[in-house]
A and B are shown apart, each in its own frame.
Chain A
């Protein structure tokens, strides 16, 4: 029968693709849960720094750190663009890169130069292709991010900010809303927004003893805080990645299933048509006799 074997081969091929997408969906689900745990364990550190910094800011109102001061008339901004290394995660990278490109165009129109720190291979490749100014990069971070591998690139940006070469830094990543939904966001990292340095509860009346002195302590704490905020964005991006990949692979499995159903229909119709044709040939042959 014409095409019967071809159709059967095609069905087998789509079935084996579906096995792969189903397996990837399961792996992504398990990785997503672990990534969510990692997001959670990273929070106490930054929450603690925020509380200490909030108290310090209240107790030492005369000391203000460059990380907290807004700058008039910005000339240049830094964008930390966080994407994935691997693909097959649906629209996730496309969405954040679209938002970032949009922002870069807006900055350009306002006469503000933008520089990029790319974390993640997809974003790095894209930024290189379109000719953006990439001042530092960190790729192949894996499913378990380590702050250590990001410190060099982060310092490049923070040094530029403190030296006045960059006037603001934005964090561009994909927020993990829930296991079914991710959202591309662009948040201002420095200057730090007031709610980012406010303590949780009312501050206590006593003040700390600072060794060696308050300024050195505040400086170190704020650098650590900014590093922690970037780390958290990366950890959240990883959770979003696995959630997006899970949804994409589920959609792929479902699509494969519907392709298989269509193919089976065609196969059966073809088979039945062939049988009908044979039968009618026999019947008309018998009638002739």
Chain B
């Protein structure tokens, strides 16, 4: 049964767990303003802007501050999860990094034929495999 005065809070990013613990109250920078979440809050999914997540731990006067570069918030009656970004995102920023990646690739392909030479691939892999087999043959002899 969900408790009326404690919620479990976890802040996770794709790379690691940033925070995991129980809280009395959580404040987050929502897209359209600051969000305050108490236990037994209605279920919600929304985006949050880069900023500080303030977590009021039980029995502690000071709030725990966790900085996130934006992300997605999921609220259940007894659990709050912040799916945090690992870096500041934004339509223009993401578009710029994709364009940079395309540009790099185009430059690399400029002076090159892009038709796969399977014979060349085959022979290169065969050489590598032969080298590895030579090593294991040596091991088997002893």
Choice from A91, A129, A217 contacting B120 with Cβ under 8 Å: A129
**A130 and B108 form a contact (CB under 8 A):** no
- Within 8 Å by CB of A137, from B31, B45, B47, B101, lies B101
A90 at the interface (CB under 8 A from B): yes
- Compute how far the CA of A46 lies from the CA of B81 in the bound complex, rounded to whole angstroms: 12
Stretch at the interface among A1-9, A221-229, A280-288: A221-229
Interface residues of B in 109-128 (CB under 8 A from A): 109, 112-118, 120-122, 124-125, 128
B118 A101 Cβ-Cβ under 8 A: yes
- Cβ-defined partner of A135 (8 Å) among B89, B94, B102, B132: B102
- Decide if A41 is an interface residue (CB 8 Å cutoff): yes
Which residues from B are CB-within-8-Å of A261? Answer: 142
Looking across the interface, which residue of chain A has its beta carbon closest to that of B104?
Answer: A137
Q: How far does the alpha carbon of A258 sit from the alpha carbon of B138 in the complex, in Å? A: 9
B44 at the interface (CB under 8 A from A): yes
**In contact, B114 and A131 (Cβ under 8 angstroms):** yes
Q: With A156-B101, A208-B43 given, is the CB distance from A42 to B72 under 8 Å?
A: no
Q: Given B45, B47, B124, B141, which contacts A209 in the complex, CB threshold below 8 Å?
A: B45
The reply to whether B86 and A148 form a contact with Cβ atoms under 8 Å apart is yes
- Nearest Cβ in chain B — how far from A125, in angstroms? 10
Expressed in whole angstroms, the Cα–Cα distance for A2 and B102 within the complex equals 63
> Does A131 lie within 8 Å of B31, measured CB to CB?
no
CB <8 Å contact, A255 and B86? no
- Report yes or no: B14 in contact with A231, Cβ–Cβ below 8 A: yes
Given known contacts A94-B125, A136-B101, A207-B43, is B12 in contact with A130 (CB within 8 Å)? Answer: no
Closest approach, in angstroms, between the C-beta of B140 and any C-beta of chain A?
A: 11
CA distance A164 to B83 in the complex (A): 29
Residues of A within 8 Å of B108, CB to CB, are: 128, 134, 137
**In the bound complex, how far is the Cα of B137 from the Cα of A258, in angstroms?**
13
Does residue B34 face the partner (Cβ distance < 8 Å to A)?
Answer: no
In the bound complex, do residue B129 and residue A94 qualify as a contact, i.e. CB atoms below 8 Å apart?
A: yes
With a cutoff of 8 Å between Cβ atoms, the chain B residues found around residue A98 in the complex are: 125, 129
Q: A98 — nearest CB in chain B belongs to which residue?
A: B125
Assess the B86–A147 pair: CB atoms within 8 A. Answer: yes
User: Is A68's CB within 8 Å of the partner chain B?
Assistant: no
**Given A94-B129, A151-B94, A217-B45, A131 and B117 touching (CB < 8 A)?**
yes
Interface string of A112-131 (1 = CB under 8 A from B): 00000000000000101111
Contact A211 B44 (CB under 8 A): yes
Verify A105–B14 contact, CB threshold 8 A: no
What's the nearest-Cβ distance from chain B to residue A191, in Å?
21
> Is A45 a contact partner of B105 (Cβ separation < 8 A)?
no
Given contacts A44-B12, A91-B129, whether A130 and B124 have CB atoms under 8 Å apart is yes
CB distance from A129 to the nearest CB of B (A): 7
Name 6 A/B residue pairs within 8 A (Cβ), A-sorted.
A45-B14, A91-B128, A137-B104, A155-B95, A208-B74, A211-B30
